[in-house]
Amino acid sequence: MKITFELLQKIINTIDLGIVFVDTDNKIVIFNNTAGDMLNADPEEKIG
């Protein structure tokens, strides 16, 4: 089974831990909802 990036994001958003992934350019590529709650930030605004 091949896991797509979109599926990975959906799985990470259901985890009750704050998760942030950055790429090799130090850009945020995943910022889950729990991380947003913990840091009082909108996850969609943090990506990029």
pLDDT digits (tens, 9 = 90+) for 1-47: 678 988 988 999 999 999 999 999 999 999 999 999 999 999 999 99
Q: From CA 25, how far away is CA 48, in angstroms rounded?
A: 10
Burial of 34 (0-12, 13-18, 19+ CB in 10 A): middle
C-beta separation of 46 from 34 below 8 A? no
C-beta separation of 35 from 18 below 8 A? yes
Whole-number pLDDT of residue 37: 96
